[in-house]
Structure 1
Amino acid sequence: MLRLAGGSINHGGGEGYVEFGSIGEPSSAGRTLGTFAGVFSPVTLSMFSALLFLRIGYLVGNAGLLTILVQFIIAYGILVFTVTSICAMCTNGAVEGGGAYFMISRTLGPEFGGSIGTLFFLANIVSSGLYIVGCVEGLVENFGPSGLLVGEGNSLLPDSPGWRFFYCTLLNILNLLVCLVGATLFAKTSVVIFAVVLICTSSSVISFFVQSPMNVTIPDENHFLHNMTGNGTMEPVYRMYTGLSMDTLVSNLYANYTRDYTNGVMVSFSSVFGVLFSGVTGIMAGANMSGELKDPGRSIPRGTLSAVGFTMLTYFVLSVLTAASCSRELLQNQYIFLMPINIWRPFITIGIITATASASLSNLIGSSRVLQALAKDNIFGKSCQSKVSSEAIGRILKIVSDLTWSSNPLAAVLVAWGLVQVILLIGSLNVIAQINSVLFLLSYVAMNLACLGLDLASAPNFRPSFKYFSWHTALIGVIGCVVMMFVINPIYALCSFILCILLILLLHVFSPAKSAEWGSISQALIFHQVRKYLLMLDSRKDHVKFWRPQMLLMVSNPRSSAQLIYFVNQMKKSGLYVLGHVKAGQDFSEMSSDPTQDEYTHWLSLVDHLEVKAFVELTVARTVREGLHHLVRISGMGAMKPNTIVFGFYDSETPPDFLYASRSLYASPHYRQEGGGDSLFPLRAEGAEGKAVSPLEYVHMMNDVLRMRRNLCVCRHFNTWTHHAFWTNTSLKYIDVWPINFFNPSVEDPFTTTCLFLMQLACVINMKPRFKHFQLRVLLCDDMKHSQLRLEHLLTTLRIDAFVQLVPEWNDRVRAQWSVNVSDDYLASVNTMIRDVSGMTACTFVSLPELPPQPDSFISYLNKLTLLTDELPPAVLVYGINAVTSTAL
């Protein structure tokens, strides 16, 4: 029930439900960041990163200006469509810590959210490593051998793969120290860092206009242009900076791919785009800080969109100026060309260090927040079948989520830092860039997919205040991201999808968070589709060829009916299955609330416990008979209505408790009776005194079912049946069918509707995997060969795999005792005959005799059914109303 308490909205959700909305002022505890410091600055710095100063020449020199502008448009198009999805998501509800993971998991559910969140966490880890490698590359290019700042022979930093890894480690440790202090410090310094990067970028733009043409030195590591001299030194090689020139611009318009001098690999359109896109993947840097933002719903859209527009304009300006002023040979062979042409060279060094270091720090902070959110949700708490391993993982996750200082996740930061250190072992910036791009694109796919699903599901509560989102933008974002993943690197893309699917399956099976009441988009989509198809399902178009049993099982108490519930589940053959229960003897007009509402969740839990595919329908009525009318008429929906009603047999036996008995396969501590009526599904006392229905009313109910034109099944002795014994008892071989009305054996035609329905149900149960090892046996009460041949022909025509067995005892002894009044002696003889041939029978299907026309005979009719079925194997008495078999194609 929705109620207002202390200014907050309480939905009365169960354990695990999280409601973040409030009517008063939102809590600002631990939230100190605004739009500029918390979103715009981190996003801008992440999108500038290594690309701004280290790879503009690589992009323009290989792809050409026109191609690179197209690639920027494609990349930013994907980003803009994804940003609209992010904006829609974060303006549709309160956003907590965890950023993209929080938004995706609360929309798509824990399985998708956990898997995508894990990959997004890894993407941030890879991205942090990427920017550290870029920062070290800039440092070595400036202060290493032949450094542009220190000059030839004045090396301040030794250069080798080992030394570079050492420098990366030092920077990673510096990031760790900042993270341990907290994100607030980074946010405060990010504004200063942004100002520094902006000054350095402005100096580059100004330099294009004021610098005269010059020769630029090619770095010594470029072995494609350098030749070794006789004394082991490198001869200086230069390439031309022309200044702004139309001829230079024209020469740089089109693509001319060559080898990357850092690794010797041939450059291509896809590799260029991979590097380009890796530099602009920081659009979620602001969303990652959602836990520290004062108003994430307002700050994330404004800050992210502003940063996207600003960085795109900057990249466009730098690309055009680069193409118009630098020869192609310079761009392809000197990636850090911006330094020698700058009006003050240290500007570029400062820009490289600040842009890359801040971007790596931003991603390290973001990854730690995502990891903390994953740990809080205990997503992987049961990812191992081993109980010991699961408990160990659970304890580790608890440490990761709980070990904090001033809202700073210390343990999560340490784990993220360690993984970044592993990424640094790769070394090559361009290789890391492709992995980074693919992982980020996959997280963007998930974000767009989440919003697309919400929009297509037409959920009334999906009404984001961000108005520029539609399902078209989300769909374009999904398609664009998937296509570009495979353009960048098909192998990485395929591996990431496979890993994502494996994580989804792992979380679906083992995650303890899958029962969390976050709400899953899958339920909304299923509802949307089911409603559509139910409207398309027309009962007027039903055809007997496609008939299937649609069962309504009337359950008095599930404790004593667990065996029967399971058996009917096997008999439904992919049809509708409804468990119906009537709370009788109560006048609803005198009740303060509906008692079925409290019981309904217990019934759903029972369905899960018994592992049956059934719906539950509960009703309140003065009598069980009245409740039966409710259930038969209103159960199901549209054309999916029960066509067969199943009763348990009426007797005075003490009801067993299959949910409590220690030897029962259905026993569970959850259903242990603690005594009294407060326990779940309390059993009646011994005898018939506690029954909610009398024998006369019971037969009236049978008659009502037939009057409502429904097939009827009455089941007896299933309290003696255990499906485990069914599979292991080798003495049981047959499922028996008796296509004869024992109350009126003069009608011996096996082609009656009841007999055909009888054989159809037996055939259906025999088709189930757990009943296939039984032989279907049709018992023919005749000794004439032509009757056997006729019945065998019928079975062949109906494609029923069964054999016919004659019962000569019928004609020899039993039939002679029959009279119109159906004496007890005759029924005892019939019962003996059935038992004599049922020694190896697992289940018996018997034709249910027609009910007497007068209610005065109902009690006698029930007594005769009792005599007929005493001490038989589990038996199903069947009466058919409608045709259920077809011989046509």
Structure 2
Amino acid sequence: MAETKKFGTFAGVFTPSLLTILGVILYMRLGWVIGNAGLFGAIIIILIAHVISISTGLSISSVATDKKIGAGGIYYVLSRSMGIPIGGAIGIALYVGTAFSIALYLVGFAESFNGYFNFGMGINDLRITGTIALVSLTALALISTSVALKSQFFILAAIAVSLVSIFLGTHDFTPHSVNLLPSEGSASLEIVFAIFFPAVTGFTAGIAMSGDLENPKSSIPNGTLWAIGVGLVVYLSVAIFMAYTVDSEVLKSDYNILMKIAIFAPAVVAGIWGATLSSALGGILGGPRMLQAMSVDRVTPRIFAKGRGENREPVNALLLVFLIAEAGILIGELDVIARVVSMFYLSAYAFINITFFLESWANPDFQPSFKVKRWIGLLGFIACFVVMFKLDMVAMMGALAVIGGLYFWLQRKEVKIKSTDIWKSVWENVVNKGLKRIDNKQNVNSSWNPNVILFSRESDHQSYLLELSKAVSGRTGIVTNFDLIIDNKNKIPLKRSEQMVRDGIYKDLGIFARRIKIENLYSGITNIAMTFGFSGVEPNTIMMGWPKGLEDSVEYETMTENLLHLDYNLLYLDFDIEKKFGNYKTVDLWWRETDSKNAEMMLNIARFILSSPKWDHTSIRVLFINNTDINPIIIHNKIAKLVDDLRVIVEIKIIENVKEQIPFFDTIKNYSANTNLTIIGIPNYKIEQQASYIVSANQLFETIGSALLVKAANNFNVLDLDFINTKS
């Protein structure tokens, strides 16, 4: 029983699409377009408009043959490809555009009807006639969708007869010469295009019936493209005929000229009324189904999801369409309505085209049976926005603002459906291609893009370590935190879903987080350092807390030796639990002659820290201990040059230590006791000297605030801090 109510290509797609295309613009405004734009201008307008409609038709047809198409037409396709926020935003815009287009067709019908019977042509007269027609068509749609669609066959025949009557008509208005270009006093081409463009939007009428089609994957591409093609031929033929048959001034002023030149005027009247009423009927049938589909997905209120009867006719959604269309009819100005409809449709078509382009480019699972070159979608997308910009930049910004507002509203609403999201494929494709390009480039020492492996566990002060790791990695650096769970048996690893951590502070800071079981802390860190990462974005930095109490640990010594051998940058934070990072106002960088690589790394860290919100008003000092008799001005100038080359603004302080020969760590105690963060380079030492170095560092950390120790890898440039050879 239900199968007999489904429709095929001709009845379900081709006929409603063609009848909407051959509508009010063809009969009531095409002559005006030719009169203002000239024949060449009119042909260009028709062709540009069809570039958009053909590219959009090809795009939607290709996408439609890849996915299972349900009720909702274009909304359904977009929401299942680009996600609910974009699909819903465009769907709502297209729904409103469809409802207003009903008003466009019925105001055009009212102009013809009242003019033919010599009724009033005032705006109120057109409103009354348009409203009566709207009520009648809405009642027909409520009675039966099947009856409404079958009535379109008679209307299609009437249009065909009217076109024959026009081409066989009289030539009483033949011009002395054909205007090929716009004449003086004509409307601008932008305005003419905006009024004409709704003529080519009718192909969406068939797509909107997707839920009522027997085979949408076959019917949508065949019916849509045939309707667009036939429409293009008809518009070009009528345009050329009218340009050679009617004077341009008459075309500008007489909207009913086709009735006057036709061999049988009643046939043209029947065609006009049939075309305008069937176009309106197509919107009345398709618009509610789109709203119903959005309501089923909870994009719009659920009340509009309710349907009547076996085919769930969208009665509630139809009533809302009626109200919006009536609001358009009350505007009463066909040209004004046409320009509003153009912006809504152009916005929607732009996103339809970019959806196809992204699906074709990024989605490996995109296998449509209707193959289309992906550049066609990109061409349609660009054409839509260029035309919108040329037509009315303010209106374009308004339309994009409305769609953007709907997008962010739906995103916050967090409506979810079981479907693929093209954006995941897009990002995967971008990342894949980016990684290949990065991996193919030779590593250079001119800059440091941190990719940090951070080891931290939940504690009262973990957030500070996470914040600092994000600060020192800069805006484009990557931080991955590992929470290591020691399990000596380690028989059952955590599930992959349990290893991933995406909430809390990690999400706020943009830090990737993993939770992993290990048997031994030191071997676990070493294994992660050796295996984590992949080509293009290999980790280059290890960051962890300073190892207090591990100065005699052989395992820690082995781990450090392995990390140095792997040539990682090493960052150790000794966090002062009481002082924390103070007021985030001061950072000291301590340099010495042996810090030739560490110095550059410190300056990079300082530059990244300054771009972090909490540290953006920080004062940075570079402190250098002069243990020789070299003139401190020479040292100061050379450091200033090095700092200037790396584009970091710092205060440089040279500490004279020739006479006193105060130990390095003791000098730090004297100058950085109240500094919020002190950054110190780890010198090159033999691994067996690690224990004594840790002991000395621990004594230092007891008297200063939070400190970060750094050990630069070999890929950092060597800064010349050997001032003996610069002595003068």
TM-score band by shorter chain is 0.7 to 0.9
1:424 corresponds to: 329
1:792 corresponds to which of 636, 640, 647: 636
Amino acid aligned to 1:135: F
1:605 corresponds to which of 503, 514, 525: 503
Does the 8 Å contact 1:114/1:504 carry over to 2?
A: no
Does the 8 Å contact 1:781/1:811 carry over to 2?
A: no
- Pair 321,548 (structure 1): closer, same or farther in 2 beyond 3 Å: closer
2:331 is paired with a residue whose SS is coil
Between the aligned partners of 1:758 and 1:65, the Cα distance in structure 2 is 70
1:135 corresponds to: 109
Does the 8 Å contact 2:25/2:196 carry over to 1?
A: yes
Q: Does 1:726 align with 2:583?
A: yes
1:461 corresponds to: 365
Aligned length: 712
In the TM superposition, 1:627-638 aligns within 5 A as 627-638=524-535
Does the 8 Å contact 2:451/2:538 carry over to 1?
A: yes
1:660 corresponds to: none
1:286 corresponds to: 206
Amino acid aligned to 2:115: E
Q: Does 1:552 align with 2:429?
A: no
Between the aligned partners of 2:243 and 2:656, the Cα distance in structure 1 is 102
Does the 8 Å contact 2:484/2:517 carry over to 1?
A: yes
2:725 corresponds to: none
1:50 corresponds to which of 9, 14, 24: 24
- Pair 160,801 (structure 1): closer, same or farther in 2 beyond 3 Å: closer
Does the 8 Å contact 1:128/1:364 carry over to 2?
A: yes
- Report the alpha carbon displacement of residue 283 of structure 1 after superposing the two structures with TM: 0.9
Amino acid aligned to 1:305: L
- Report the alpha carbon displacement of residue 523 of structure 1 after superposing the two structures with TM: 3.9
Between the aligned partners of 2:152 and 2:146, the Cα distance in structure 1 is 10
- Report the alpha carbon displacement of residue 781 of structure 1 after superposing the two structures with TM: 5.9
1:776 corresponds to: 620
Between the aligned partners of 1:352 and 1:636, the Cα distance in structure 2 is 67
- Report the alpha carbon displacement of residue 480 of structure 1 after superposing the two structures with TM: 3.7
Does the 8 Å contact 1:779/1:805 carry over to 2?
A: yes
2:67 is paired with a residue whose SS is coil
1:192 is paired with a residue whose SS is helix
Amino acid aligned to 2:375: H
1:638-690 deviation digits (Å, cap 9, x = unpaired): 343332211123458xxxxxxxxxxxxxxxxxxxxxxxxxxxxxxxxxxx9xx
Q: Does 1:41 align with 2:15?
A: yes
1:281-307 deviation digits (Å, cap 9, x = unpaired): 111111222233343222211221222
Between the aligned partners of 2:322 and 2:102, the Cα distance in structure 1 is 9
Q: Does 1:572 align with 2:473?
A: yes
1:171 corresponds to which of 115, 130, 133: 133
2:726 corresponds to: none
Between the aligned partners of 1:504 and 1:586, the Cα distance in structure 2 is 53
Q: Does 1:198 align with 2:177?
A: no
1:84 corresponds to: 58
Between the aligned partners of 1:707 and 1:428, the Cα distance in structure 2 is 78
Amino acid aligned to 1:429: L
- Pair 784,320 (structure 1): closer, same or farther in 2 beyond 3 Å: closer
- Report the alpha carbon displacement of residue 268 of structure 1 after superposing the two structures with TM: 4.9
- Pair 510,294 (structure 1): closer, same or farther in 2 beyond 3 Å: closer
Does the 8 Å contact 2:159/2:275 carry over to 1?
A: no
- Report the alpha carbon displacement of residue 340 of structure 1 after superposing the two structures with TM: 4.8
2:347 corresponds to: 442
1:500 corresponds to: 400
- Pair 60,291 (structure 1): closer, same or farther in 2 beyond 3 Å: same
2:123 corresponds to: 161
2:521 corresponds to: 624
1:472 corresponds to which of 375, 384, 398: 375
Q: Does 1:354 align with 2:274?
A: yes
Between the aligned partners of 1:451 and 1:863, the Cα distance in structure 2 is 63
- Report the alpha carbon displacement of residue 570 of structure 1 after superposing the two structures with TM: 0.2
Amino acid aligned to 2:56: T
1:640 corresponds to: 537
Does the 8 Å contact 2:628/2:657 carry over to 1?
A: no
1:30-80 deviation digits (Å, cap 9, x = unpaired): 983433332122212211221343334434555565654554444334322
- Pair 137,636 (structure 1): closer, same or farther in 2 beyond 3 Å: same
2:511 corresponds to: 614
Listed as ranges, the gaps of 5+ residues in structure 2 are 721-728
Q: Which has the larger radius of gyration?
A: 1
Between the aligned partners of 1:28 and 1:791, the Cα distance in structure 2 is 90
1:511 is paired with a residue whose SS is helix
- Report the alpha carbon displacement of residue 362 of structure 1 after superposing the two structures with TM: 2.1
Between the aligned partners of 2:410 and 2:633, the Cα distance in structure 1 is 55
2:71 is paired with a residue whose SS is coil
2:555 corresponds to: 697
Between the aligned partners of 1:774 and 1:268, the Cα distance in structure 2 is 58
1:843 corresponds to: 677
- Pair 791,564 (structure 1): closer, same or farther in 2 beyond 3 Å: farther
Does the 8 Å contact 2:594/2:683 carry over to 1?
A: no
Between the aligned partners of 1:298 and 1:843, the Cα distance in structure 2 is 67
Between the aligned partners of 2:2 and 2:631, the Cα distance in structure 1 is 86
Between the aligned partners of 1:403 and 1:427, the Cα distance in structure 2 is 32
Q: Which moved more, 1:93-102 or 1:54-63?
A: 54-63
TM-score, length basis structure 1: 0.70
Does the 8 Å contact 2:580/2:706 carry over to 1?
A: no
- Pair 115,30 (structure 1): closer, same or farther in 2 beyond 3 Å: farther
Does the 8 Å contact 1:587/1:621 carry over to 2?
A: no
Amino acid aligned to 1:81: S
Amino acid aligned to 1:711: N
1:539-565 deviation digits (Å, cap 9, x = unpaired): 874333323443221234487633211
- Pair 422,258 (structure 1): closer, same or farther in 2 beyond 3 Å: farther
1:701 is paired with a residue whose SS is helix
1:742 corresponds to: none
Does the 8 Å contact 1:583/1:621 carry over to 2?
A: yes
Q: Does 1:537 align with 2:438?
A: yes
1:241 is paired with a residue whose SS is coil
Does the 8 Å contact 1:63/1:272 carry over to 2?
A: yes
Between the aligned partners of 2:603 and 2:259, the Cα distance in structure 1 is 88
- Pair 478,694 (structure 1): closer, same or farther in 2 beyond 3 Å: farther
1:286-345 deviation digits (Å, cap 9, x = unpaired): 122223334322221122122223333444554555556556665454332343555664
- Report the alpha carbon displacement of residue 129 of structure 1 after superposing the two structures with TM: 1.5
1:504-556 deviation digits (Å, cap 9, x = unpaired): 36734872356847544444334333333333335874333323443221234
Amino acid aligned to 2:369: S
1:551 is paired with a residue whose SS is strand
1:745 corresponds to: none
Between the aligned partners of 2:548 and 2:140, the Cα distance in structure 1 is 77
- Report the alpha carbon displacement of residue 136 of structure 1 after superposing the two structures with TM: 0.7
1:276 corresponds to: 196
1:281 is paired with a residue whose SS is helix
Identity across the alignment (%): 24
- Pair 560,137 (structure 1): closer, same or farther in 2 beyond 3 Å: same
1:796-831 deviation digits (Å, cap 9, x = unpaired): 12225444567899987975xx9xxxxxxxxxxx68
Between the aligned partners of 2:35 and 2:536, the Cα distance in structure 1 is 66
1:874 corresponds to which of 706, 718, 722: 706
Does the 8 Å contact 2:636/2:654 carry over to 1?
A: no
2:172 corresponds to which of 217, 241, 252: 241
- Report the alpha carbon displacement of residue 598 of structure 1 after superposing the two structures with TM: 1.4
Does the 8 Å contact 2:5/2:146 carry over to 1?
A: no
- Pair 763,511 (structure 1): closer, same or farther in 2 beyond 3 Å: closer
